[in-house]
Structure 1
């Protein structure tokens, strides 16, 4: 169970004694195998402060994979889980450059840390005083940031743009129901009529059910879909209602529903391409395909095909097209000395792990099976996987 920080913990951790204690705690392994021994050692040296020291060091280590320049930050477990990755927050801050912004669910300040770089005035508010204390420490003496304790559903500033990140858990479980977010999305939208809004949501949200008048942006980072972001009409480009933003290796690629979407209907090409998840979630597969001269294996399936692989994407060179029958697949895999086998599926009800066990690949060569359907016909493509192009 995660440690529950109090304001007294924060006061200790940010002071000289706490900083010195954290430096000592950071020298310990604090792994599952050593945790009890390390905790006891810290208890002897720092008494009741030991749990807060352990939790802070462990959270800082976890944060390093997600957030930049946070080696001295303070976190709670929940706040770190919900914190926007730095690359995603930086992208959003670039879109908001030059505007006054109020983050009404600022938590420990991950979003504010990027907004302060691009926006002339930034307000951060939250109902959780412990998180606000952490944000004050994390952000240091930034002169263009004001922190306040306030309810996200009660407007307290006249900032040009309101940013919100409702909690995506209800009753201890992740929810995709807009009404069960905290604060509820319908209530949040009603609280700021006529204001420019940016609302971060789970990418699994049913956008069509929202009747959102602005833009829905789905963002991925290094191949993993991170969030959907609702941009009100005043912050959107004319004619754009869907946007996929792909952040990969320091590069930004954007596809929108204003881009061309005409693609040919052809037989499968030399390669199969699995488009980035942001493109799929945003419903922009055809637009992405048109940009790179690709086409779909089937109009209702997100797999693309063509004679080349877009830069930065992973492609699968087609070696053979087979009937999707286990006996046929097993015989061909044995003939090709298949060992390591990756199985990808779309449009067919097949469990890849169970099928792999039944196919029993025992050879030495790696392959990829792409299982899908074309029209009403199930299809299997035996492929040689390649690394992403650079």
Structure 2
């Protein structure tokens, strides 16, 4: 639940008092009603807002600065700072120092913090007055200008690039049609048709008609967003996977033009590799395989195999391939007591399969359920290993 403008102003002025009043509160689902009642006695009508702020900060710990103003909705919706930093790096490379970035859906200022840190100049606008007040507080002391404006009504001149983050949910449900985003993607592109633009979107949308770059980003193994860059920001790329893990950034792009069109699939090697979700969503499994000297088990399925695990990733030591109907006996023969199950290309529920296996051994193992040609197979493996 968001804040009123008056609540934001109060929260900005009562920082130390808020910290002291909430430090010993649990602020979880079980205690929230009693916690809010306690805070109302201390802060009056602003007690609810204090509880919301404290709970949002706890949920965003390690993700956003703890002194920032935020509500739980804005904290959940914000782009991970590591992704924003990578975007700022790309914009700095494309546009140079002191370029002006206009973020037309600035919310609480997360994107601005990273853009300014990269040496770019920042304008932030939004229709939500309360979030604008939070952004102004969060970016205080930095060279940022925030103001109220509709993302579909150009309200700035001289910006070198536009950034937008349309709302991806409505009524608690994820939006899958670009025309139903808030604001709609086609309307947003029309409004800013004469300027370079970067639009953040859900990674599951259909981007097949986008003529610029589609950059899909993951953080610690979880795919977080896709960003559509206009062609003048793409450096010749049309697809990119940005994999952020343990502070390291890996990029896979479609500029690798020697990926063979045929004969990339073959029998399993020493390891089975499940590529990062950003690589899969960006359609760069083949390119990643070529870069890492891996190959595919089936050209239509996104599992890879090879004789080593790429640095910084994990894989499964391959033991044997068995038909699905013989998996239970194979696992018993290996003495499996626990199993990690991966499934792609076959209609199998991992939880139901685990129950059917009735494991009684002591070994930790893994199984990759997939399709090779017309066959549904089980690749029996040892436990996950990291390189």
TM-score where L is the length of structure 2: 0.94
Q: Does the CA contact (< 8 Å) of 2:367 and 2:378 recur in 1?
A: yes
User: Which residue matches 2:375?
Assistant: 377
In structure 1, C-alpha distance between the alignment counterparts of 2:135 and 2:101, rounded to whole Å: 16
Asked if the contact 1:197–1:231 (Cα under 8 Å) also holds between the matched residues in 2, the reply is yes
Q: Which residue number corresponds to residue 50 of structure 1?
A: 47
How many correspondences in the alignment? Answer: 378
Q: Partner residue of 1:315?
A: 315
Deviation of 1:362 after TM superposition, in Å, equals: 2.5
Q: How does 1:1-390 map to 2 (within 5 A)?
A: 2=1, 4-15=2-13, 17=14, 19-67=16-64, 70-97=65-92, 98=97, 99-142=99-142, 144-158=143-157, 159-208=159-208, 211-238=209-236, 240-259=237-256, 260-262=258-260, 264-325=264-325, 328-389=326-387
Q: Report the 3-state secondary structure (helix = DSSP H, G, I; strand = E; otherwise coil) of the residue aligned with 2:136.
A: helix
Q: Is 1:318–1:383's contact at 8 Å kept on the other side of the alignment?
A: yes
Cα distance per residue 1:11-38 (max 9 Å; x no partner): 11111x4541343213322233433333
Distance in 1, matches of 2:73 and 2:28, equals 20
Contact 2:341 2:368 in 1 (8 A): yes
2: CA distance, partners of 1:133 / 1:120: 22
**Structure 1: stretches of 5+ with no match in the other structure:** none
User: Relative to structure 2, which stretch is displaced further, 118-127 or 226-235?
Assistant: 118-127
Per-residue CA distance 1:241-297 (angstroms, 9 max, x = gap): 111111111111111111131264432111100001111001110100000110000
In structure 2, what is the Cα distance between the partners aligned to 1:320 and 1:107? 52
Tell me whether 240-249 or 170-179 shows the greater mean CA deviation. Answer: 170-179
C-alpha separation between the residues in 2 aligned to 1:162 and 1:275? 32
The 8 Å contact of residues 266 and 298 in structure 2, kept in 1 or not, is answered as no
Deviation per CA, 1:323-348: give whole Å up to 9, x if none: 111xx211221222211111111111
Alpha-carbon distance in 2 for matches of 1:41, 1:147 = 35
- Structure 2 unmatched runs, 5+: none
> Structure 1: how far apart are the matches of 2:280 and 2:196?
27
Cα distance in 1, alignment partners of residues 63 and 372 from structure 2: 39
For residue 219 of structure 1, give the secondary structure of its aligned residue in structure 2. Answer: strand
* Equivalent residues of 1:13, 1:19 under 8 A apart: no
User: What are the Cα deviations for residues 170-194 of structure 1, in whole angstroms up to 9, with x where unaligned?
Assistant: 3431111100100000000000112
Q: Equivalents in 2 of 1:49, 1:76: separation in Å?
A: 13
State the 1:83 CA deviation. Answer: 0.3
Q: 2-side partners of 1:171 and 1:27: how far apart?
A: 34
- Find the aligned partners of 1:50 and 1:76 in 2 and give their Cα distance: 14
Alpha-carbon RMSD? 1.4
Give distance in 2, aligned partners of 1:217 and 1:257.
11
What is the TM-score with the length of structure 1 in the denominator? 0.94
Q: Distance between the aligned counterparts of 2:265 and 2:120, measured in 1?
A: 50
Q: What is the alpha-carbon distance in structure 2 between the residues aligned to residue 305 and residue 150 of structure 1?
A: 51
CA contact (8 A) 2:104 2:164 kept: yes
